[in-house]
Structure 1
Amino acid sequence: MEIIKMKNNKATSSKEKKEEVPTTPCQGTKTQLLLFLGQWFFLVLLPSFASAACDQVDHEALLSLASEVSSSPLLNWSASTDCCLWEGILCNQDDQRVIRASLPGRGLSGVISPYITNLTYLTHLNLSWNSLSGPLPDDLFSSLHHLQVLDLSFNHLIGQLSSFSSQTTALQTVDLSSNSFNGTIPSSFIVSAVSAGTLTTFNVSYNSFTGPIPLSVFCSNGNNHTSLTILDLSFNKFTGLVPSGLGACFKLQVFRTGFNYLSGSLPDDIYDAANLQELSLPFNHLSGVISDDITRLKNLKILWLTSNQFSGPIPSHIGTLSRLESLLLSSNYLTGPLPPSLTNCKNLSIFILSFNNLTGDLSAFNFSTLQHLTKLDLGNNNFTGELPQSLYSCKSLTAIRLASNQLRGQILPEIVALKSLAYLSISSNNLINVTGALRILMGCKSLTALTFGKNFGFEILPDYDNIVEPDGFHNLQLLALDGCQFTGQLPSWLANLKNLQVLDLAFNLITGSIPTWLGSLPNLFYIDLSHNLLTGGLPNMLCGLPVLTSKEAVDQVERGYLEMPIFDMSSNANNQRYNLLSSLPPAIYLGSNNLSGKIPIEIGQLKFIHTLDLSHNNFSGRIPDQISNLTNLERLDLSHNHLSGDIPASLKGLNFLSFFSVAYNDLQGLVPTGSQFDTFTTSSFEGNPGLCGPPTPKRSCHQSPQSPPQVLEVTQRSKTQRILIALIFGIFFGIGFGFGFSMDDKRIPIIGRRRK
């Protein structure tokens, strides 16, 4: 933090210029009043301000703090001015002691000076959202007896809290979240504040704390004065069971311990915390059933138990939780149908039960009572029946995911009533009539993501002018129709989807060539046409996709968050989950088709592509040297083609390349070495007998310039034999020629004579 000298404010002279006598009585009264207030300010208030100055100990402590850090932009702290007037500093009125230091998000970097402990009157310390690093001063908490609010969140602070003890009985809020603290949390750290009943918020999420959850520190049966309302221990490395005792925190409203390594079942007394509004324990190893006793938490608004090992049915009386707004139970082992009582949760907004073993006829469930529902995810279960019509009356819906169930039927026109619907995923079911579905869904004007692959088995992918109106799917950014076994060609109406960023038509039976207009879509950066029956060459236009060739186009791509995450299911993507569409690695997948011809040199224009897969086709010719221009390339698969020539040595410049395969081609010559090529195994080059050098089996490309003696002897013998055969043939040819000439009209035809 730089210290800047500021100009002192100079008081104006008490002698005022003589003003003209006003022409009206009102003007005179106003002027006299202003003169009186001005004199009163200079004679009464200004001297009192001038005499006030912050305590010298506090002044020096703040200057020491400033000397340890830098800031951007610079603070207005100057050694020659009153520190009570400095930015972020507040003093009390009695003795001008510093009671608040608040500098959130001011670009501070460096360490926290130990001299901060001299600010013994400090009640509020907020240095959040900066880049401070290093450990905390040793006696920070034992010296600041009056501290009420401590917020050091979102920094880079390190160290353990085990060496700290606090004697303060005034602490109300402790927020150390989003740092790199580790070790255990000792009871001495906050025991005084807990015992005094002042602590209301304790947040140490997003750190690396270990050991068991110290719930007894906060919720002790012998402590009847606890005021704790928020306890957030999520995103750490806590282990063991969820300890009992939570019920003793009778004022607790928020309890978060998600993203840890907790195991076992939920303790029975957790349902005694009657004021609990949020119970969040996702991404642990918790197991057992979700007890019907959870209905005792009448104030519960958020129940988040995602990614655990809970089993059994959803509590049958869960509908008695009338205040419930978010129910997130995905990625467990829950069974059975949806409890009918859920229709009583009329405040439910987020309803996520995906990746379980739930069953039942979904069309029999009445969604119409859930008028506040915005997100519904029942994907990856075993629901049967048709798409529930009652769902179309939930007018607030923005996202629906019913993928990977056993639903049948077709999409009905009533779905267009969902004016806010932006995300629809119904892939991997048994739907029919893709033509009707497309005609209806283009009426959902807010739709940005549409995935309904693995349906419509062996139907024809419609390709005529009126299937999609010119303004249909105007906002669509993601379209996935993969795995439907569609026949036909790539439909021309795709050219109208100017906002399309991701197109997935893999695993179909699409024929014809790749149309040139595909390369003109201004926002398209992810194409998967693999596993089809496409023919022809790789069009040059596809190598000019704006978002894959131009930095300006990349910057203009919309980067809004998806209403629900998507999964990149391509064979090389490791099933990655993405909440932001623009986070998908830019890619072109054309593998497993019948494409042929040469790989165009224009391929080198795709500077921003991460994955290029042209495998299992009939491409021939040389590997273009221009591929070395693709400096962001991470995966390059040219295997199973008919490529010839050598591997360009310039490909060694692809520093991010983690996967490379040219297996089963007709390549020859030395395999490049150095850089990423030293990491590729034999499998990347197999099936090319002409390749040599590590890591191929042919370790050396050296050929001997002189033939071995036995070979030379055989060669000379063969030469002698050829001369003798020629002489014998010549003798017999001469005799025959003379004999033929001696005949009169009896010409003997010559075998093999060329006919005129």
Structure 2
Amino acid sequence: MLNTFFPDMHSVLVFVLLSCFASICHTCNQLDKQALLSHSFIISSSSSTPLNWSSSIDCCLWDGITCDLHGRVTKLWLPFRGLRGSLSPSLANLSHLSHLNLSHNLLSGPLPNGLLSSFNHLTTLDLSFNCFSKELLSLPYSIQLVDLSSNCLSGKIQPSLVFGQARAPNLMYFNVSNNSFTGFFPLPSCNSFSLIKSLDFSVNCFTLKIPPGLGACSKLEVFRAGFNLLSGLLPFDIYNVTTLREISLPRNQLSGPIGDGIVQLSNLNTFEVYSNELNGEIPRDIGRLSSLEHLLLQSNNLRGNLPPSLMQCANLTTINIRNNFLEGDISALDFSKLQKLRTLDLGNNSLTGYFPLSLTSCTSLMTIRLDTNELEGQVLPDMVAMQYLSFLSLSANRLINITGAIRILTSCKNLSVAILGNNFIGEAMPDDGSILGSDGFQKLQVLGLGGCKLYGRVPAWIAKLRMLKVLDLSFNHLTGSIPSWFGNLPRLFCLDLSSNFFSGEFPQELCRLPTLSSRLDVPLVDIFMQPFNDYRLQYSGLTNVLPQINLRNNSLSGRIPLEIGKLILLHVLDLSLNNFSGSIPEQISNIRILEKLDLSNNHLSGEIPESLTSLHFLSSFSVANNNLQGQIPIGGQFDTFSSQSYEGNPQLCRPVLSSSCPSINRGNEQKIIQEEGGGFNIPWFHVTVGLGYATGFLVVCVTLLFQDSWRYAYFKFLSNMHDKVYVIVAVNMARLRRRLQR
């Protein structure tokens, strides 16, 4: 009887207690309710699931609200809800609030004065990814986590005001990255903040040196201050913080050596100080950093040999020491212990020796860049074991035996980028049709063999590369005609055959390249390559490859086919330094997004088509040294090009040139008068951009409109992709002079 009675009693008691707790928890404090209802962002929520905040509902049941047993609001948690509006000072009435998270919304306006410091129980503050503005004045005493990253905050951070001696002694995480803070670096005193674990000041405008004091942060694990204007030496006391897991200080102006004391940081996982002015040698005993996974030292002034002890860091996944002054025999290093290594980039140094045999045992490698060094020898047959290898750049070395290299690399099944240019000098282009086998280069998207002075013809095996998107055969000694089968490559959008000895005509089949003649999305490829090639500079920087056909400096003749206008997705067309004749096809005006058009140094005749003025993204244009005649078109981008674009055509006329037009018809005269005097207040001011760089231009515009809320995305865009922003502001001085005379 008792066995059956007590379970029933237990259920009843649980039901009663839950009912009591529910009635208590759902009795919202009226002061808290009014404080929440005062916020304008409640009404203007653009979320697909609107907030259920209503005066008729107990506020403890509202979305994102948590109450304690007394009905006081303790959590306001509404990230990613599309909220708009600003914070009301009445929020300070939530006196029991412990967690405030409004991150990843569209909130704006200043943080009300004294708001943050008024919360006596607040431990978590996350307002990241909004557009709150003005300064950061103070922090609550109870705070443990502060994330104000990716906002529009500005001004200086005064450590004495924001932190203070008696403020926030429990602070552990502090993030103000991606804002517009200026002034001295605001390092809090770790004597007062002994619990601090993470400090992130990256992507701001802090200046001068990092002050001493980090050495007292005995529990600090993450220190980030990249993308600022910091100068001076790396703070040596940072090497005393043995708890550090990450040091991130890229893209500053830091100088001096990397101290030997860094080897004391046994827990260090990430060390990135790239794009600074650091000099000296890499610490000899860096191999003692057994936890190191990411070593990013590229673009500094580091010298000396690559320390052999580095090969003892068995947990390394990324080594990037590109763009320095390293030297020594790389083949003497033993890479065999780096079995977790995925990326090795030692490009643009002065390393000597052969391709390291031990490197082929690192079977997890996906990216190898050893370009622009002084390596000798051949591509090793053992590379076939590197089945994850997808990116290989060995350009600008002294390698030999291109036929053997192609045969070996075809067995790397995942290889998508092979950049081998400026090697194999004077060898024959491999033309054996069986060199690929039945499944070779099935994933190859980029093939770079420029600057090798290879002789022979374009090999037919390239026609089998159905995934090929970028082909660079520039600066070789190739002869014969341009193969018509290029037009059948389904993914090709960048073809560079410049500076060879090709003859014959422009193949009409090129005008039907699928990725350039249809509206399908073109998957551009990011590789290390210079646009508008200079073989001495190729592959020296990360650039987004533009859709282009570059046949510059060959012996091509005949007319430019009218079908060229079908390449509607082309950005660059360079046919200069050839023997083309006839007129300039008016159909080129169909290529609306064309950025560069170079037809100079040919035998073209007739007039420049007026329709080319509709190419609004054209930022580079030349028809110099032809036999053109007539009036140069007026309007659009043609008002921005200098006389050098037309020189060597004595029968061309325009006021910008020394020759004047013998006669101008009434329509053109009226057009000039309207442009100079009517319609716009400032008709002589022109801004032009190329479409390939239009993204950067739009980012600039957005930055001007929204200031710093988008600045982090802009910085990242420039860091990882290195796209160039070309904004050409051209002022027609002749028209301005006429205005001043009137």
- Measured at CA, do residues 196 and 202 of structure 1 come closer, stay the same or move farther in structure 2, by a change above 3 Å? closer
Q: Say if 1:282 and 1:304, in contact at 8 Å, map to a contact too.
A: yes
Alignment partner, residue 567 of structure 1: 529
- SS across alignment from 1:465: coil
In structure 2, how many angstroms separate the alpha carbons of the residues matched to 1:483 and 1:190?
58
Per-residue displacement from partner, 1:289-338 (whole Å, max 9, x unpaired)?
22212112222121112122222221111111111111111112222212
2:153 counterpart (136, 160, 181): 181
Contact 1:682 1:695 in 2 (8 A): yes
Secondary structure, aligned partner of 1:367: coil
**How far apart in 2 are the matches of 1:467 and 1:664?**
43
Aligned-pair CA distance for 1:427? 0.6
Greater shift in the superposed pair: 360-369 or 600-609: 600-609
Matches within 5 A, 1:126-205: 126-161=101-136, 164-166=137-139, 168-188=140-160, 190-191=162-163, 195-205=167-177
d(CA) in 2 for partners of 1:331, 1:73: 45
- Which residue in the other structure is 2:686 paired with? none
TM-score when normalising by structure 1: 0.82
Aligned position for 1:219: 190
Deviates more, 1:461-470 or 1:130-139: 130-139
Pairwise CA distance, 1:40 = 9.2
Which stretch of structure 1 is more off in the superposition, 141-150 or 360-369? 141-150
1:63-102 to 2 correspondences below 5 Å: 63-65=37-39, 66-67=41-42, 69-79=44-54, 80-92=56-68, 94-102=69-77
Q: Secondary structure at the match of 2:223?
A: strand
| SS state at 1:303 partner | strand
Higher RCO (CA < 8 A, seq sep 6+):
2
State the match for 1:60 in structure 2.
34
**1 CA distance for matches of 2:295 and 2:446?**
27
Q: Deviations over 1:92-117 (max 9, x none)?
A: 2x122222222222223343344433
C-alpha distance 105-576 of structure 1, shift in aligned 2 (>3 A)? farther
Question: Could you tell me how far 1:56 is from its partner in structure 2?
Answer: 2.6
Structure 1 residue 68: deviation in Å? 6.2
Distance 2:262 2:14 in 1: 66
Structure-1 separation of matches of 2:23 and 2:600: 80
| TM-score computed with the length of structure 2 as normaliser | 0.83
Comparing 411-420 with 195-204, which one deviates more in the overlay? 195-204
- Counterpart code for 1:507: F
Match of 2:86 among 89, 111, 114: 111
Structure 1: runs of 5 or more not aligned: 1-28, 705-756
1:411 is aligned to 2:384: no
**What's 2:624 paired with?**
663
SS of match in other structure, 1:174? strand
CA contact (8 A) 1:175 1:204 kept: yes
AA partner of residue 662 (structure 1)? V
Determine if contact 2:189/2:213 at 8 Å carries over to the other structure.
no
Q: CA deviation at 1:188?
A: 5.0
Report if aligned partners of 1:502, 1:527 keep a CA contact under 8 Å in 2. yes
SS at match of 2:36: helix
Structure 1 residues 78 and 288, CA gap change in structure 2 (3 angstroms): closer
The amino acid across from 1:138 in the alignment is: N
Distance 1:82 1:365, change over 3 A: same
Which amino acid is the alignment partner of residue 552 of structure 1? L
Query: Could you report, residue by residue, the CA deviation over 1:228-248 in whole angstroms, capped at 9, with x for unpaired residues?
Result: 111111111111112111101
Contact 2:42 2:83 in 1 (8 A): no
- Contact 2:25–2:71 (Cα < 8 Å) also in 1: no
1:702 aligns with 2:650: no
**Does 2:328 align with 1:360?**
yes
How far off its partner does 1:42 sit? Answer: 11
| Cα distance in 2 for residues equivalent to 1:59 and 1:525 | 60
Q: d(CA) in 2 for partners of 1:358 and 1:365? A: 14
C-alpha deviation, 1:45, in angstroms:
3.5
Count of aligned positions: 656
Q: CA offset at residue 699 of structure 1?
A: 3.2
Q: Is the 8 A contact 1:336 1:358 kept in 2?
A: yes
Contact in 1 for aligned 2:270/2:292 (Cα 8 Å): yes
- Provide the residue aligned with 2:213 in structure 1: 245
Contact 2:26 2:61 (8 Å CA) reproduced: no
Structure-1 residue corresponding to 2:181: 209
Residue 489 of structure 1 corresponds to which residue in structure 2?
Answer: 457
**Residue 536 of structure 1 corresponds to which residue in structure 2?**
504
Q: Relative to 1, partners in 2 of residues 1:98 and 1:360: Cα closer, same or farther, differing over 3 Å?
A: same
Partner of 1:26: none
SS in 2 for 1:466: coil
**Percent of counterpart pairs with the same letter?**
50
Offset of residue 571 of structure 1: 4.2
Q: Distance in 2 between matches of 1:47 and 1:348?
A: 53
Which residues of structure 2 form unaligned runs of 5+?
Answer: 666-742
- State the distance in 2 between where 1:213 and 1:39 align: 59
* 3-state SS in 1 of match to 2:35: helix
RMSD over equivalenced CA pairs, Å: 2.7
Larger C-alpha radius of gyration, 1 or 2? 1
Contact map agreement 1:693 1:701 (CA 8 A) in 2:
no
Which structure 2 residues correspond to residues 10-49 of structure 1 after superposition, within 5 A? 45=19, 48-49=22-23
Q: 2:637 aligns with which of 667, 673, 676?
A: 676
Distance 2:206 2:428 in 1: 54
C-alpha spacing 1:233/1:48, structure 2 compared with 1 (3 Å): closer
Aligned ranges for residues 485-634 of structure 1 at < 5 Å?
485-554=453-522, 557=523, 566-571=528-533, 583-634=544-595
Local SS of the residue matching 1:269: helix
Amino acid in structure 1 at the alignment position of 2:322 = S
- The 5 A counterparts of 1:374-453 are 374-453=342-421
CA contact (8 A) 2:25 2:67 kept: no
Q: Which moved more, 1:322-331 or 1:432-441?
A: 322-331
Q: Cα–Cα, structure 1 residues 235 and 643, in superposed 2: closer, same or farther, change >3 Å?
A: same
